[in-house]
Structure 1
């Protein structure tokens, strides 16, 4: 099985009620073990509560006990950490049949466009934040970011994260001087809402890339501007799979 090599940081372990044995694949079946993946929750149909998981490499997992989550009402396209055991009995149309132990939703957001009305510079903010991992799934539908920022991390102090299309993109930067930029320029923005920078916290967020789908043809990936914690403004290039 395809599993991203994310750093499974402290906050992830804090929300898990089961003991995890992290493995790089599901090919070793020495015995039942709790496994963890990042996936997308997809509905069987628009009106159905039944769902399945799509992994970031396009493989599909069938939740054998999915009815236990019928009351959760997951949104189509919701990103999540899934803790599960693989079952031996195959299910037609799926790569894996699994018993789900826990589903932890990942903050899943649309890209926003910077403007002078709703998404202003002041509202979006530009407070310091680090990106410790960024990657795009196989079908180029999501960018998932592992991040760090300072704050009190109390329930009444909410920070806001956005992936932003800037009002005016920077001039193309190419080594050959052709003027043709091979990357789509975006900005990862953080608004701390004035929270006191007490301790370092970590988390994950996934951004839907459908808003820039028509710009992907001929591009190598995304170039993302970040106001980092210790090194000021930096840009990172994340290639399409």
Structure 2
């Protein structure tokens, strides 16, 4: 079994474009956009408070008040998102930190899918090869498994990705990444991002367990383990991804 390691989310990756998603793109009076603002410097969960005020969950223990967001650009949905922010001197209003959001862009966020049995799983979810990238975005935290993966993309067809329980009686925290390319198996390598909500897994009751992820790679079956605790921080170490490719369409 192969185990991946991951870095803290403080390391920043270069994004191809700056997206505003309904918030201001720069806080400088002269609208100068600094180079550092092109980098994602956090992976967050976008949540709503009891009065529908948006806030950001940086990890399981740190909440951020986005001072320039009065409504969520994602409506009532709780989603995982990449963002670039600067810390703000404004009042935290009960959150851990106040931040000014330069841009924020959601990641495809999905629930786990039902295990239908192997024959139906193949028909519905496929089992086309992918590589799970050893990246700071690939992490289990705040009740989600967020994955950066790479595969071949050719004709622009959106690929279908899902996470199912393997229903392993010896390990209830074993899951499998399924990828259906709908025949789009040629072309260049490109990346996709997806986050799966893990609330279908048994509650860890405050304990940290090993979450095992299995997938079909281009060189055969692989697996990785993550530290996982229901809605508690998991912060495994990682190595740096040295090149960033285009982000492709997934559903």
Query: Do they superpose with TM above 0.5?
Result: yes
CA shift digits 1:43-91 (9 cap, x unpaired): 123x73x201011242111111103x55x34344211111222112332
Q: Which secondary structure does the structure 2 equivalent of 1:238 belong to?
A: strand
Residue of structure 1 equivalent to 2:65: 62
Q: CA deviation at 1:236?
A: 1.4
5+ residue gaps in structure 2? 1-6, 20-32, 229-233, 235-251
Cα distance change, pair 217–62 in 1 and its aligned pair in 2 (3 A)? closer
Q: CA deviation at 1:147?
A: 0.8
User: Which SS does the other structure have where 1:213 is aligned?
Assistant: coil
User: How far apart, CA to CA, are the structure 2 residues paired with 1:122 and 1:216?
Assistant: 35
CA RMSD in angstroms comes to: 3.0
Residue 159 (1) aligns with residue 147 (2): no
The TM-score normalised by the length of structure 2 is 0.71
CA contact (8 A) 2:10 2:42 kept: no
Quote how far apart the aligned CAs of 1:199 are: 0.5
For the residues of structure 2 that align with 1:233 and 1:111, how far apart are their CA atoms?
20
Q: Report the TM-score when normalising by structure 1.
A: 0.74
Larger RCO, structure (CA 8 Å, separation 6 or more): 2
Gaps of 5+ in 1: 23-32, 173-180
Aligned length: 207
By how many angstroms is 1:144 displaced? 1.1
Q: State how far apart, in whole Å, the 2-side matches of 1:190 and 1:216 are.
A: 31
Of the candidates 194, 198, 206, which is equivalent to residue 205 of structure 1? Answer: 194
Larger Rg: 1
Contact 1:20 / 1:35 at 8 angstroms: preserved in 2?
Answer: no
